[in-house]
Structure 1
Amino acid sequence: MRRNVAFDCILILLLGLLCFGATPSRGEETATPGKLFPFVLSYEPTDSITNISEWLDRPAGKHGFIRAENGHFVTDAGRIRLWATNLCFEACFPTKEEAERLARRLASLGINCVRMHHMDNRHIWGKSPNKLTIDPEMLDKLDYLIYQLKLHGIYTNLNLHVSREFGPAEGFPAVEGLPNYDKGIDNFEPRMIEYQKKYARDLLTHVNPYTGTAYINEPAIAMVEINNENAAFDEYRKGAFDHLPEPYASQLRKLWNAWLKKKYGSDDALRKAWNAQRQPLGEEILKNRDFSGQWEKVWNLQRDNLSEVVAEVIPNGFQGKPALRLRVIRNGQETWIPQLSQGGFSVQKGQVYTLRFWLKADKPGRIDVNCMMNHDPWQRLGLSADVQTSAEWKEYRLSFVADRDDPNARITFSQLRPGTYELADVSLRPGGVIGLEEGQSLADQTVPIVPARGPQMTAAARADFADFLWELERDYWWGMYRFLKEELKLKPLVAGTQLSYSPVHIQAGLDYIDSHAYWQHPVFPGRPWDPENWYVRSLALVNQPGGTLSGLASRRVEGLPFTVSEYNHPAPNEYAAEGFPMIAAFGAFQDWDGIFSFTYSHSRDYEPRKITGFFDIKSEVTKLVHMPACVAMFYRGDVQPATQAVVVGMTREKEQSILRETLNPWALTADRLGIPANLSLLHRVAMALKEPSDSVPPPTLSAEQKVFLSDTQQICWDVSQPGAGVFLVNSPKTKLVTGFPAGRTFNLNGIQIQIGETELGWATVSLTVIKGDGFDRPGRILLAATGKAQNTGWDFRKEGDRVTVGRRWGDEPILCEGVPARIVLPVSSSRVKVYALDEAGRRRDAVTVSGGDQAVVEIGPQFRTLWYEIEIQ
């Protein structure tokens, strides 16, 4: 680990301090909250302070291709960062008029790159009979959009595979049971890989008639992404490979057996290396195996106030013996409730155990069966199985090796979806078969894959499977990269997939590193993406230092550009406006290279006057009014990069050691290697592909630390007041306060910000010098202040911190809260004029400026706006 400059003294000085001179407020309260008012930003840019399109270089690519040098994106003009967004599905295929308006709007927001996402789902195929031939009409729409974006200074990120699924029309009849979008399978299935190459060739070598250039030679194409959130390692981790249909199960097994054959040569050598064991079964461990009598004194059926389950014992339910019938009507607050368990027994590390039971259900499905701690922290003890249910009685035998000693373990049956289940003759005994079973041989390629969620193999077998998956992925990603770069001669940069889905050293073999994160992503307790049954946790990131941002920082790889191509705080989180300003400041401090909001639009409804879903930001006014501040902090560089770096080594040997133990690429992060997660709030952090030569022990952070001041002194994250966190940015040309002001006044180098009472006790306020050299010099400043926002008449329901609107997102227009605030500027009031701006960013009403040597500006709900222009003469 490398620490460039000592910083221990900073940590000591920070303890107990408030940042940037924050003090309790004095004097009269500012205005009380008013009623919500309609406010929807105009979709036609005007020549106003809010239009920052002139910050972009036009056309995109005028300075040559974006390339990777010294760990960053550069062009012939020097360093470049991407403040970007996504378009999804049919949004990638507008009409010509829509493309022109869309490009103007995006440029006015300062967006300089668009990621074309999910365009391979169905829309690009148009009228084609299958998903193998691009529809020329749809391609023409994409071409014109990319042309318009280029003219307006906006680069394009082309995603090759996101959500195309192969089926009978493409020659893949057996698709039932495959992962969504063929994820993981298309890393090794030969025909799928060839069709990926065909699509890449058809798309990238095609000449855009509006630019006259093929995409392989187009400098306005910033990068190409091979496969979104799609890696064999990650799909395996989730159990997707445990129950593959044919022929895919056989394809994977044959690849695995060929790998083992090459390494070991024979069954005997394999059996010896894997420490294969066959132990006689010992004494029974469980009590009341047949649920007779007062079974609930031994077995625990865990419920909560939301779950509904009816339990009864059927006297002759199974082969003349009792069986427990569970009729699950509704799951609980967590999907694993209701849960049936029996605990109170011990397990010994290294001992083989066999769990056997009979089970049937009213319909095919899956449930989870585990051996785990019967106490906090409730960790697994060697068995974590995903078993398939059947409408007929079926016997299950799960042998596993306990991975630690534990005096109080339990067996659990969970993830019982609504339906009826019958369970009988449950047994747990020491002993069983681990490793190769009778009839399994390399000669006939019948050695099964090591299941992710099932009977656990030996540690040696798991280590081998980790190495096998690593090589399988390496061959896929590096093979696709060579195809693009060497065969197609693609000049733009190329990434594989997002880090943590795939190992570090594999993705580092391409041009840059990418990652994704969401703060409080929607949760679907029932079926995935059910538009009625979902919730979002309405929590403020500002109260949880680091959060998603520290997690992203821990995936940075030293020496390679780093982007976050998806990020959002999804609606209807009440605090969502904090998200983009926080990641813009944090990303600039960490010296990242690109941040993409997810998403601008999922459809061709580009100009709604209401919030249309979880992710689309096109109309989310409380996010958009702070966009100039975000662009200034990240793209313009108002927030300085960290002065100090803490780097930890992630060598190939260390990576494979972690994977052999965990089979989980999500464990390959800097915070798992000793760097405290919140250290990224103080310094830049990264992983190096080799051990730093000046490695030192990682610094420590006190668990009691509540104030985090960046080493540049420009960012402060303060949670010293419980439940009232604030995130502050104090740069020469951008100021930001987001969080719970709790009566404090924030002094940011002479700019005082005091936020009054709001409906949530929370607000986001940004001040950005749009033209000029500072807050005390002649120029124009954009002030944005946001609080609560909602659609008209949406069905907003809140239970604890969980919020939902179900299907009822409401009507237009968006209704917003006017935030009361008092701003003091270090210039004479005679030099200052302030205007409330309308929805198009034009001056509407004059705002009174008071004070003498220091100008005092008071804004509030009476102005019925979210942004203001401050002119200093």
Structure 2
Amino acid sequence: MVPQDAPAGQYGFVRSNDQGEFVFGNAPGKKIRFYGANLCFTANFLDKAVADKLVEYLVRMGYNAIRFHHHDGRLVDPAVSDSVKLNPETLDRFDYLFAQCKKHGLYVTTDLYVNRNFKSPATGCYGLKAQLPIDEHAMESWKDFVRSWMTHRNPYTGLTWGEDPALISLCLVNEDTLSANWSANPKVAALYRSKFTEWKKGREGDDQTLFREFLFELQGNVLDRQIDFVKNELGLKTMITSLNWITDAPLTRLREKLDLVDMHQYFSHPTFPEKAWQMPIGVDQGSSIRRGASLPREMMPTRIFGKPFTVTEFNFCNPNRFRAEGGPLMGAYAALQNWGGLWRFCWSHSDAGIIRNPGQNSFDASNDPMQQLSDRIILALFLRGDLAPSKAKISYPVAPFSKNSPAMSYPGDFANLGLDAQIGSHAAERKLPAGVVCWRPGMKTQEPPRIRLDRKAGTLAVSTPLTETATLPAGDLAVKKLRVKDASKFMTAAAISLDGKPLTESDSILVIHLSNISQSGAGYGSSTLLCAWGNSPELLVERCTATLELECPGTPWRVAALALDGSETGEVPGSLKNGVFRFTADTTAFPGGILAYHLSR
């Protein structure tokens, strides 16, 4: 759908233009967006033959990027409490995977710290994130590991990791927002309180506001030191980011220090009523559409105009029954906002999820047709750019803590503007880039809506010349060229031109029809409490039928039902009458289930 441009890094380091769009250092006029997925834990350390097959598959998926995540704990000796020495065996596998990604046009983003073991000799406490601002041992451990890794020369590329332009960006510390981490360990929390008592002397204000300012100041100092280390001491040219969790408005002032803004958000993230990451799992069975596109809308204000914006973790988590809405929601709104990159979380949490089919879980896409087909919709709307960005750009001014104690969250009426216009935020005293206006209460967008979201009806309609999508709870929904009639239940339909011609003129159209998928044998205590995923890798496809119509001024299409590997399963009858082509989509029309069709002529 989007031609691969290999190898990654051939145009120099990824950079930003003055509009906050990704370009290249040696080709500043060449814009690029990124789409991919996360590899986690042992999925980063594959046998070479498995790595080859994985990269080939990801390229065939249409990805042009990947994120290495939850990797640092296995790059060193996990049995050592503060190891910074790289493990030769896992490092070699990591080097090879990176080189194969680069060779085949997959750009890479990763984190300099996720969950590597660290135990402070000063406090005796584990955990690096909370101790970075208050314990020099934590900072030195972070630096030693980063230096060891980024100066290591990859034998398969001939470059050190730090000098390789196939790296899009580096996150200093994953999800490092101090307001969410400082109290994780009671002993460390006591140190924070003690330091705060000294810090607040002579300062006016209530303790809650002052403590936020105290954490904010500590976080800023840590960022300054880390950025200075990687850019000046190590001389890295890769773009730097951090603070990729929490949407509190004041964090915009800290994110101004970064080369790009990155965020994480999930819909129906699992909860654990009994034991963390163990069954049973609490499941939110709501719909993001009915919540006003909460994912991705809640992230929109954190973008800073003039800097690229990425989302390195998102998912509409399994087994939410409305997760078929995820493709149109993320693809359309990311394109409307002109974001720079999206990474699904995740492809796999393990090598087993790549080598074989261990069954489903809340996140992994490697054995989930719902996520892989949803990605085709995102690839069309966002990566191919079928939906043009909004021309309206509105930014919310964030005042410093010392000025009237700024609110922690963005006004709701401002965030809702993101459904029709590009939005972001900025330090109040900063001059905005050309074409960006400062938000005022009561401000409305002048552009007519190009994404039709009806939260009350639970519908979403997206129309572009090359792609149209319809999401509805049941019944009928007309987009423009695409119409859905008599849908038996909740579903998403998408028509995507594959030959670059407008839908009505196209000779090759991919039609996607998604409702719900579940693993065979899954057990529930209630609709919102999953007790077992099931012990079979077989999937159950929910039966959903609908009449799909496409405007067709010329020759009718042949409709081929597609198996999950893309091969033809059978032919579906269609009819042309009065310039409208129609056929019945039925997820159970052929053995194995049908979630996609190819229209050709």
TM-score by length of 1: 0.63
Gaps in structure 1 of 5+ consecutive residues: 1-51, 265-269, 275-458, 702-708
2:281 is paired with a residue whose SS is coil
Please give the per-residue CA displacement for 1:148-193, whole angstroms capped at 9, x wherever unaligned. Answer: 11122111112111112313xx746722xx6xx4332123311111
Q: Is the 8 A contact 1:818 1:865 kept in 2?
A: no
Does 2:433 correspond to 1:690?
no
CA gap 1:467/1:697 in 2 versus in 1, 3 angstroms: closer
Shift of 1:740: 0.9
Residue number in structure 1 paired with 2:292 = 545
Q: Is the 8 A contact 1:818 1:866 kept in 2?
A: no
Map residues 79-98 of structure 1 onto 2, 5 A cutoff.
Answer: 79-98=31-50
Please give the per-residue CA displacement for 1:401-427, whole angstroms capped at 9, x wherever unaligned. Answer: xxxxxxxxxxxxxxxxxxxxxxxxxxx
Does 2:348 correspond to 1:590?
no
Residue number in structure 1 paired with 2:217 = 471
Structure ID, larger Rg? 1
Please give the per-residue CA displacement for 1:644-689, whole angstroms capped at 9, x wherever unaligned. Answer: 12222124x2x5547x577xxxx2x4x33x7433221122211122
Partner residue of 2:132 out of 186, 211, 217: 186
Does 2:594 correspond to 1:869?
no
Partner residue of 1:229 out of 172, 175, 189: 175
2:497 is paired with a residue whose SS is strand
Shift of 1:847: 1.9
Q: Percent identity?
A: 26
Please give the per-residue CA displacement for 1:224-277, whole angstroms capped at 9, x wherever unaligned. Answer: 1111112323324xx447x325xx845x467556656xxx6xxxxx4xx55xxx
Residue number in structure 2 paired with 1:56 = 4
Map residues 381-400 of structure 1 onto 2, 5 A cutoff.
Answer: none
Partner residue of 1:157 out of 109, 113, 117: 109
CA gap 1:467/1:477 in 2 versus in 1, 3 angstroms: same
Q: Is the 8 A contact 1:188 1:476 kept in 2?
A: no
**Structure with the larger strand share:** 1
Does 2:416 correspond to 1:678?
yes
CA gap 1:63/1:695 in 2 versus in 1, 3 angstroms: closer
Residue number in structure 2 paired with 1:824 = 549
Q: Is the 8 A contact 1:829 1:854 kept in 2?
A: no
Gaps in structure 2 of 5+ consecutive residues: none
Q: Is the 8 A contact 1:157 1:221 kept in 2?
A: yes
Q: What is the one-letter code of the residue matched to 1:786?
A: L
Map residues 433-832 of structure 1 onto 2, 5 A cutoff.
Answer: 459-498=205-244, 500=246, 503-529=251-277, 531-605=278-352, 606-609=354-357, 611-651=359-399, 653=400, 655-657=401-403, 660=405, 667=408, 669=409, 671-672=410-411, 675-690=413-428, 695=438, 697-699=440-442, 711=447, 713-721=449-457, 725-741=458-474, 743-746=475-478, 748-757=479-488, 761-799=489-527, 802-804=528-530, 806-827=531-552, 830-832=555-557
CA gap 1:656/1:822 in 2 versus in 1, 3 angstroms: farther
Residue number in structure 1 paired with 2:559 = 834
Task: Give me the whole-angstrom Cα distance separating, in 2, the residues matched to 1:620 and 1:716.
Answer: 28
CA gap 1:714/1:696 in 2 versus in 1, 3 angstroms: closer
Q: Which has the higher contact order (CA 8 A, sep 6+)?
A: 1
Task: Give me the whole-angstrom Cα distance separating, in 2, the residues matched to 1:560 and 1:196.
Answer: 26
Task: Give me the whole-angstrom Cα distance separating, in 1, the residues matched to 2:252 and 2:74.
Answer: 31
CA gap 1:475/1:79 in 2 versus in 1, 3 angstroms: same
Residue number in structure 2 paired with 1:312 = none
Shift of 1:565: 1.1
Residue number in structure 2 paired with 1:198 = 144
CA gap 1:85/1:755 in 2 versus in 1, 3 angstroms: farther
Please give the per-residue CA displacement for 1:551-604, whole angstroms capped at 9, x wherever unaligned. Answer: 111212222111111111111111222223311111110111111111111000
CA gap 1:219/1:696 in 2 versus in 1, 3 angstroms: closer
Task: Give me the whole-angstrom Cα distance separating, in 1, the residues matched to 2:33 and 2:133.
Answer: 31
**Count of residues in Structure 1 that have an aligned counterpart in Structure 2:** 585
TM-score by length of 2: 0.90
Q: What is the one-letter code of the residue matched to 1:683?
A: A
Q: What is the one-letter code of the residue matched to 1:678?
A: N
Please give the per-residue CA displacement for 1:40-99, whole angstroms capped at 9, x wherever unaligned. Answer: xxxxxxxxxxxx4x6221111222211122222112252211112111111111110111
CA gap 1:736/1:862 in 2 versus in 1, 3 angstroms: same
Task: Give me the whole-angstrom Cα distance separating, in 1, the residues matched to 2:377 and 2:99.
Answer: 27
Q: Is the 8 A contact 2:34 2:65 kept in 1?
A: yes
Task: Give me the whole-angstrom Cα distance separating, in 2, the residues matched to 1:828 and 1:778.
Answer: 11
Task: Give me the whole-angstrom Cα distance separating, in 2, the residues matched to 1:116 and 1:765.
Answer: 32
Shift of 1:121: 2.6
Partner residue of 1:166 out of 95, 106, 118: 118
1:626 is paired with a residue whose SS is helix
Task: Give me the whole-angstrom Cα distance separating, in 1, the residues matched to 2:235 and 2:154.
Answer: 17
1:631 is paired with a residue whose SS is helix
Does 2:165 correspond to 1:216?
no
Q: Is the 8 A contact 2:171 2:242 kept in 1?
A: yes
Q: What is the one-letter code of the residue matched to 2:371?
A: K
Task: Give me the whole-angstrom Cα distance separating, in 1, the residues matched to 2:568 and 2:67.
Answer: 33
Please give the per-residue CA displacement for 1:422-475, whole angstroms capped at 9, x wherever unaligned. Answer: xxxxxxxxxxxxxxxxxxxxxxxxxxxxxxxxxxxxx35555444332222111
Q: What is the one-letter code of the residue matched to 1:234?
A: A
Shift of 1:124: 4.2
Residue number in structure 2 paired with 1:74 = 23
C-alpha RMSD of matched pairs (Å): 2.6
Residue number in structure 2 paired with 1:314 = none
Q: Is the 8 A contact 1:546 1:678 kept in 2?
A: no
Q: Is the 8 A contact 1:121 1:163 kept in 2?
A: yes
CA gap 1:128/1:99 in 2 versus in 1, 3 angstroms: farther
Q: Is the 8 A contact 2:420 2:450 kept in 1?
A: no
Map residues 131-146 of structure 1 onto 2, 5 A cutoff.
Answer: 131-146=83-98
Deviates more, 1:214-223 or 1:820-829: 820-829
Q: Is the 8 A contact 2:82 2:117 kept in 1?
A: no
Q: Is the 8 A contact 1:769 1:775 kept in 2?
A: yes
Shift of 1:712: 5.9
Task: Give me the whole-angstrom Cα distance separating, in 2, the residues matched to 1:613 and 1:89.
Answer: 15
Q: Is the 8 A contact 1:717 1:728 kept in 2?
A: yes
CA gap 1:788/1:123 in 2 versus in 1, 3 angstroms: same
Q: Is the 8 A contact 2:490 2:515 kept in 1?
A: yes
1:55 is paired with a residue whose SS is coil
Task: Give me the whole-angstrom Cα distance separating, in 2, the residues matched to 1:812 and 1:523.
Answer: 23
Shift of 1:528: 2.4
Q: Is the 8 A contact 1:829 1:849 kept in 2?
A: no
Task: Give me the whole-angstrom Cα distance separating, in 2, the residues matched to 1:622 and 1:106.
Answer: 16
Q: Is the 8 A contact 2:280 2:529 kept in 1?
A: no
Task: Give me the whole-angstrom Cα distance separating, in 2, the residues matched to 1:224 and 1:573.
Answer: 32
Shift of 1:127: 8.0
Task: Give me the whole-angstrom Cα distance separating, in 1, the residues matched to 2:206 and 2:557.
Answer: 73
Q: Is the 8 A contact 2:177 2:245 kept in 1?
A: no
